[in-house]
Amino acid sequence: MTNGVDQSRRRLLGLAAGTAVLSACVKSPLPAARVAIIGGGFAGVTCAKYLRRFAPTIDISLITPESEYFTCPFSNTVLAGISRLEDLRQSYQALRDIHGIKVVHDRVLAVEAVERRLRLAGGSTLAYDKAVVAPGIDFDFAAVEGLTAENSPRMPHAWKAGAQTAQLSEHIRAMKQGGTIAISVPPAPFRCPPGPYERASLIAWYLQQHNPGAKVLILDGNDSFSKQGLFTAAWQHLFPGMIEWIPISQDGAVRRVDTGRTVLYTEIGEHAVDVANVIPPQRAAALARDSGLTDASGWCPVDPETFASTLADDVYVLGDAAKVNPMPKSASAANSHGKQCAIAIAAALTGQNKPPVSLHNTCYSLVTPAYGISVSAIYRMDNGALASVAGAGGTSPADAAEDFRRQEADYARGWYASICADSFG
C-alpha cells in the first residue's frame, strides 16, 4: 500500500514546481505598482516573499507592529517541555535583506479602501494599488461570561504564541500532584482545529512523567473534531483513563468562568479544576472588522480564486481571518493562501492569465514526541466553489504500526522546519 505521507509530500513538491513555472512566465509589472501587506504571520510573509519572486520590480511593503514572530505551530511542544519558547521565534531579516521587502514596524488602524491608503498608528498614511490584509484572529472574550482580556492570564488561552504560552507552561508545572487541567475548546470555526487535542495529548504526555496521577479534562463546544478517531485511539493506548473529553451534546461547552476560584461552568455543570486553559471563541482581527471586511459571521468573505475581498475593491484577505471554506484555519493553509494571492496580484498587475487554483493544507499533530498523526488535502475550484479533491490527501491510517507513528512525528518536525524556511527564510 502506498504511504499516505509520501503522497502528501509528492503533492506538495508538485505545487512547488507549479509556482516555479509561474515565476518564470509572469512578466514584470509597472515599477509604480505598490502593494501593501498587513500582517507578519505565515500568510502575510509568504505572500510578500512570493510576490517579490513573481513580480521582481514591484514596490512591496509589509506592515507589522512586532519586530519578531512566535509561531503557533509547535507551541504545544513548549507546554510539554519538548521545546523552548525561543525555538518558535522567527525574524523578518531575510524578508528585508534577501527579498528586498520594506518591513514597516507599525500598527495599521484602518484600511481606507475608497482612498486606497492605510492609516498607521504612528500618524502616517501609506498609499497602495493593492492591499493584502492578513491580520489573524481576535478573541471574543465577551462570549464567555466572566472572562476578559485583562483576567485571561489566570486561565491562559495560549492560542497566540508568546507570553500566554509561557504562563500556561508555568501553571502546568506548578499544578499539584494528582490535579486536573481543563481545556475549554470554543465552537468552530477557530484557528487550528486539531490544536486543542494535540495540546491535551502533549500535556498528558508531560504529566504522565511528572504528575502521573493528574487528569486532562476537555470541555468542548463541538460534538466532533479533526482526526478524532486517531486521537482517541492514541489516548486509550498511551494515556488510559487520563484524558476525558466531554462534547457539547453532553454539556461540554463552557458558558461562564470564575477566574479567581478556577471554576468553569457549562449549561448545567460546574468544574472546579487546578489549571484552566480557556480558549475563547474567535473572529477576524479588529482591523478587518473596523475596515468593513467582515460579514455577519465575523470572518472575511473572499473570492477563493484570488483571495480578493468581496466587500472592498483592490483588497485581498488571507490566512485565519479569511472565510475560505472548506479549508481549515491553519499555518499550512495560510502559506498556501499567500502563494495563491501572490499569483493573482502578479497576474493582475501584468495582465497575464493566472493558472488554475490549487490550494493545499497539511496538519501534523504530535501525540507524543515519538507519535505523530496527520491530515492533508488539496483544494481546487469545482462548479464555481472551492472543494477538496477526492482521493488527494486523507488522514494517517488507523492501524499504523509504531514505526509509522514515529516516522510521522519526524515528518512533523521536518514540516515545521520547512514551512518556517519557506515563509520566513
All three cell numbers of 111, joined, read 484600511
Residue 85: count of CB within 10 angstroms of its CB = 15
Rounded to an integer, what distance in angstroms lies between the CA atom of residue 416 and that of residue 72?
Answer: 11
- Which of 18, 205, 42 lies closest to 137, judged by CA? 42
Q: Give yes or no for a contact between 423 and 49, defined as CB atoms under 8 angstroms apart.
A: yes
Q: Check residue 223 and give its pLDDT.
A: 98
Q: Check residue 352 and give its pLDDT.
A: 81
Q: Give yes or no for a contact between 318 and 137, defined as CB atoms under 8 angstroms apart.
A: no
Which amino acid belongs to residue 306?
T
Rounded to an integer, what distance in angstroms lies between the CA atom of residue 241 and that of residue 212?
Answer: 11
Q: Give yes or no for a contact between 312 and 111, defined as CB atoms under 8 angstroms apart.
A: yes
Q: Give yes or no for a contact between 197 and 231, defined as CB atoms under 8 angstroms apart.
A: yes
* Boundary of a domain, candidates 243, 278, 313: 278
In terms of domains, do 233 and 262 share one? yes
Q: Check residue 354 and give its pLDDT.
A: 84
Strands 137-139 and 282-284: antiparallel
In terms of domains, do 130 and 165 share one? no
Tally of CA atoms within 13 A in the half-sphere of 182 that contains its CB: 24
Write down the residue that cell numbers 517579490 correspond to. 52
Rounded to an integer, what distance in angstroms lies between the CA atom of residue 328 and that of residue 12?
Answer: 17
Number of domains in the chain: 2
Q: Give yes or no for a contact between 359 and 387, defined as CB atoms under 8 angstroms apart.
A: no
Q: Check residue 31 and give its pLDDT.
A: 52
In terms of domains, do 267 and 314 share one? no
Residue 20: inside a domain: no
- Which of 6, 99, 114, 16 lies closest to 61, judged by CA? 99
In terms of domains, do 349 and 395 share one? yes
pTM over the 0.85 mark? yes
In terms of domains, do 85 and 187 share one? no
Residue 19: inside a domain: no
Largest CA distance in the chain: 65
Domain that holds residue 196: 141-278
In terms of domains, do 187 and 270 share one? yes
> Each residue of 70-86: pLDDT tens digit?
999 999 999 999 999 99
What is the residue-level pLDDT of the chain in tens, covering all 425 positions? 334 444 444 333 334 434 443 444 444 444 569 999 999 999 999 999 999 999 999 999 999 999 999 999 999 999 999 999 999 999 999 999 999 999 999 999 999 999 999 999 999 999 999 999 999 999 999 999 999 999 999 999 999 999 999 999 999 999 999 999 999 999 999 999 999 999 999 999 999 999 999 999 999 999 999 999 999 999 999 999 999 999 999 999 999 999 999 999 999 999 999 999 999 999 999 999 999 999 999 999 999 999 999 999 999 999 999 999 999 999 999 999 999 999 999 999 988 888 899 999 999 999 999 999 999 999 999 999 999 999 999 999 999 999 999 999 999 999 999 999 999 99
Number of helices followed by number of strands (H, E) in the chain: 10, 24
In terms of domains, do 173 and 54 share one? no
Q: Give yes or no for a contact between 65 and 106, defined as CB atoms under 8 angstroms apart.
A: yes
In terms of domains, do 162 and 130 share one? no
In terms of domains, do 147 and 106 share one? no
**CATH code, domain carrying 394:** 3.50.50.60
> Each residue of 130-186: pLDDT tens digit?
999 999 999 999 999 999 999 999 999 999 999 999 999 999 999 999 999 999 999
- Which of 99, 65, 72 lies closest to 88, judged by CA? 72
Percent helix, strand and coil across the chain, each to the nearest 5: 35, 25, 40
